[in-house]
Chains A and B, each alone.
Chain A
């Protein structure tokens, strides 16, 4: 019987009403009195030396307040990278400067050169056109492999080469891993590209800087997934401002998907310019700018080898990956192909020897960083494609091959630095086989074939590591940030509760879900609990929302703070009822003394906390507010199995997704409706990657896909209804809610299922195709059919 309140209830979202009536408060809806507007002049070429910038004419145009160039930012710090990777030789990664406005050179299309602040946005744009920039175009570095050639042009002249790092995880000894391959009965090799993607949240980025001369206080309104992180990075590394004088507000944010984690130049610029111009300064990204400046995702080129023994047990995995960093290191760029990718190469399987090698490369392209899944989709795609190919080569059932190699005993230490706490991969596979109606596939295939179509079924598993932690281990691995989160549970005198949380909700429904947890713990109505988030001046601290961490990390902090509140409330209740604290029970919002009929209501206790007339003042402070910082002991490990059925039109190469079935293990689930929605959204993005999306550059570094006209976003008629199921649950063993996180699973798990299905369809039609790179577009499928 589904619950209708508290943990496990599919509560409708309270935030929906404002969004459905046009009353949302997104950053671009915020206008500060007297604000000016900034327009950035951006590089139209990939690589050039700036010879001169003439702003004289533009400065004279109507409405122009001030024009900024790189020289205005001399002495101001550059944008920092938050993770220092150490390479296989023990050396730190190469870390180039990342200026707010270009200094001497531009390094990608979209690199900002100048900024015009004017009374209106139109005036700023008009004046920008009057700026004259003299530059010497340089050859562009686009292809990662040739970027590493000895004589290659360098993206950063002061670096040794275009290599950011050469990193190894797992078996570092090349000879030893080779021995494992030498001993193999069968080796399957696959070379693939995990293409560059653009996150494209529907809301473009916006920044509004405001400065109060009287108090010397800055306010930045920004489209961020983690306002406190932005404040810390901007204050400590870029502008040198004291944090207590800077407030960062991220109000309603229209989707993030990773690309709104990072600290961007425009945020620092608007903060800086608001003081310099003595006026609020607003920037609203166009979609064109978003394509040129939002950090992109993926962009790996990989060779993976899988070794099996004569009983089809996996014995070794070896991968070599080139990971594109783009022109600069975005905030967490260096960590994605390493600690969020290499660590996942064991997947759901017992493989004793694994070597992951990643070479990160600078190119004259937009920086690449986390996009939904961030490293884990890249790992999953390689592994689950190569397993599928191995199954075909060995003529064994791909599901049976996976099941045979599943990890079944927990905790399990992988050869690539993770310790899985719990899981049941057979359990999710059982759910997948049942819900996917695999037994009916043959009939569906026959039906498709009768209509001249080919039908394929593709299956894969996935595991992800979420709620990245703990801070001390991450720090030892190069993280320059803590990975805890914080929550303050502020109980008001009348018993209602404000929960100040460090997580940020930009579609995840925290305003609905978090109160479900607290209401259940205390036994009060959910409507009595409200979440406050997204404002550094209201919330003590927080690391924000990314990596499917909100409930697992911030939710755990919230639980811990609530436990402290309950403990103190019990002391007050014990005093009121003249009983021993150890005898006090809290149920349904009422404190009672065990074995008696004495009770006192939640509201009476909270009122007493703030009107402490009958209160143990000698033992307790008045008030009822507690804060907890929670630093997880380990990652969480959501896992599952996905299945896709496609129909391929052999005449056109068009692929249609006919069925998609997902079986996930997220541990405990607080709001099943929202979890379903998170999976749906991930599947939409994963299917988009598999079939449609591709961020393309030409040889000169021109961005070919710079708008929604060129970049194929998935639309409603590109996807089917999905079947999702998270009933196979192995609760996380180390956080108080037993939750694992669900935000990225769909995007991580779905691309290989789609491609496996397309290959299955083509092979069923007698086409000898083992792999097609994503996006599996009609053109690529048609070409594969013709070969």
Chain B
């Protein structure tokens, strides 16, 4: 067992991990941050997406030890300081961008990373960016729409509210 420390959602954390412990397991099992999900074992589904030192990362592809000393942000830290939903979260609710909710944390974290780099992405850019995030419920329609809306773009032309 080795000790790791990292700043998660602005709070200092530490825990003992095995060499094989994944960052996703550290977040879920050691810290109890179960908003980060595990939906596959081949780094395809994107339900485990978090930010590590500002970069978008699938936390199932990273060992907890590799994140030692890092700043990690997860879905639990995304809401506004007063607890209200942030712009992206609110857009997902406003535009029904989630159904079962399982892919949602990863989608929101990926969307946040996209909009940081590309504040006004086109529909096509959003769809391409989300190729690492699978959703089985929404057919992606309202996820793409929500991200367009979160970026301040007019979505009234998108069919079917």
Task: List residues of A whose CB falls within 8 A of some B CB.
Answer: 10, 12-13, 15-24, 26, 28-29, 122, 199-204, 252-255, 257, 286-288, 506-509, 672-674, 676-677, 680-685, 687, 707-709, 713-717, 719, 721-725, 746
Evaluate contact between A16 and B93: CB separation under 8 angstroms: yes
Q: How far is the CA of A12 from the CA of B35 in the complex (A)?
A: 21
Whether the pair A20, B104 counts as a contact (CB closer than 8 A) is: yes
Asked if B92 and A16 make an inter-chain contact with CB atoms under 8 angstroms apart, the answer reads yes
23 contacts between A and B (CB under 8 A): A10-B161, A12-B96, A16-B98, A20-B93, A21-B35, A21-B85, A22-B35, A201-B102, A203-B102, A287-B42, A507-B99, A507-B137, A682-B139, A707-B40, A708-B40, A708-B44, A713-B44, A714-B140, A715-B131, A715-B140, A716-B143, A722-B139, A723-B160
Q: Which residues of A contact B18 (CB under 8 A)?
A: 122
Mask: chain B, 30-61; 1 = CB below 8 Å from A; 0 = not: 00011111111110110100000000000000
For residue B128, which residues in chain A have a CB less than 8 angstroms away from its CB? 716-717
**Alpha-carbon distance between A257 and B139 when the two chains are bound, in angstroms:** 13
Q: Decide: A717 near B130, CB < 8 A? Known: A122-B18, A201-B100, A203-B39.
A: yes
Nearest CB of chain B from residue A492's CB, rounded to whole Å: 27
Inter-chain contact B101/A19, CB cutoff 8 Å: yes
Known: A20-B85, A203-B39. A721 touches B135 (CB 8 A): no
Bound state CA distance, A286 and B143, in angstroms?
26
* Docked complex Cα distance between A722 and B159 (Å): 7
Contact assessment for B38 and A746 in the assembled complex, using a CB-CB cutoff below 8 Å? no
* Contact between chains at B131 and A716 (CB < 8 Å): yes
CB pair A203–B93 under 8 Å, yes or no, is no
A685 near B160 with CB under 8 A, answer: no
Report yes or no: A680 in contact with B93, Cβ–Cβ below 8 A: no
Partner of B136, one of A16, A681, A687: A681
Q: How far is the CA of A725 from the CA of B85 in the complex (A)?
A: 30
| Given A199-B136, A723-B160, 7 further pairs, Cβ under 8 A | A21-B76, A508-B99, A708-B44, A715-B130, A716-B130, A716-B143, A721-B158
Cβ of A92 to closest chain B Cβ, rounded Å: 36
Q: Which residue of A lies closest to B139 (CB)?
A: A684
Among B20, B44, B96, the one with the most A-chain Cβ atoms within 10 Å of its Cβ is B96
**Do the beta carbons of B126 and A708 come within 8 Å of each other?**
no
Size bin of chain B's contact surface = 35 or more
CB distance from B75 to the nearest CB of A (A): 4
CB < 8 Å neighbour of B139 from A19, A26, A202, A680: A680
Interface presence of B65 (CB below 8 A): no
For the complex, what is the distance from the CA of A506 to the CA of B158, rounded to whole Å?
26
* B141 in contact (CB, < 8 A): yes
With beta carbons under 8 angstroms apart, the residue of B96, B100, B136 that contacts A253 is B100
Closest chain A CB from B47 CB (angstroms): 6
Say yes or no: is B66 at the interface (Cβ < 8 Å to chain A). no
What mask results when residues 129 to 158 of chain B are scored 1 for a CB within 8 Å of chain A, else 0?
011011111111111110000000000001
Minimum CB distance partner of A31 in chain B: B29
B-side contacts of A19, CB under 8 Å: 98, 101, 104-105
Asked if B101 contacts A677 (CB within 8 A), the reply is no
**A40: min CB distance to chain B, Å:** 15
Interface pairs A-B: 6 shortest CB-CB: A22-B35, A684-B139, A19-B101, A254-B102, A507-B100, A507-B99
The answer on a CB contact under 8 Å between A707 and B102 is no
User: In the complex, A479 Cα to B38 Cα: how many Å?
Assistant: 36
Given A677-B96, A680-B141, A708-B42, also A24-B136 (CB < 8 A) = no
Closest A residue to B126 by CB, please name it.
Answer: A716
Tell me the minimal C-beta distance from B146 to chain A in angstroms: 10
CA distance A676 to B139 in the complex (A): 11
* Nearest CB of A to B113, in Å: 15
Question: Would A202 and B42 count as touching, CB distance under 8 A?
Answer: no
Q: A202-B47, A508-B99, A707-B41 are in contact. Are A722 and B141 (CB under 8 A)?
A: yes
Name the residue among B47, B93, B130 with the largest chain A CB count within 10 angstroms. Answer: B93
CB-defined contacts of A16 to chain B, threshold 8 Å: 92-93, 98, 101
Shortest Cβ gap from A511 to chain B (Å): 11
Whether A20 lies near B89 (C-beta < 8 A) is yes
How far is it, in angstroms, between the C-alpha of A509 and the C-alpha of B45 when the chains are bound? 23
Task: Determine the distance from Cα of A23 to Cα of B83 in the docked complex, in whole angstroms.
Answer: 12
Report which residue of A20, A672, A680, A707 has the largest number of chain B beta carbons within 10 angstroms of its beta carbon: A20
Please give, as numbers and ranges, the residues of chain A lying within 8 Å of B98 by CB-CB distance. 13, 16, 19-20
Q: Is B127 an interface residue (CB 8 A)?
A: yes
CA distance A716 to B131 in the complex (A): 6
B101-113 vs A, Cβ < 8 Å mask (1 yes, 0 no): 1111100100000
CB of B99 within 8 A of CB of A677, answer: yes
Decide yes or no: A122 and B139 within 8 Å by CB, A21-B35, A254-B102 being known contacts: no
Residues of B within 8 Å of A252, CB to CB, are 100-101
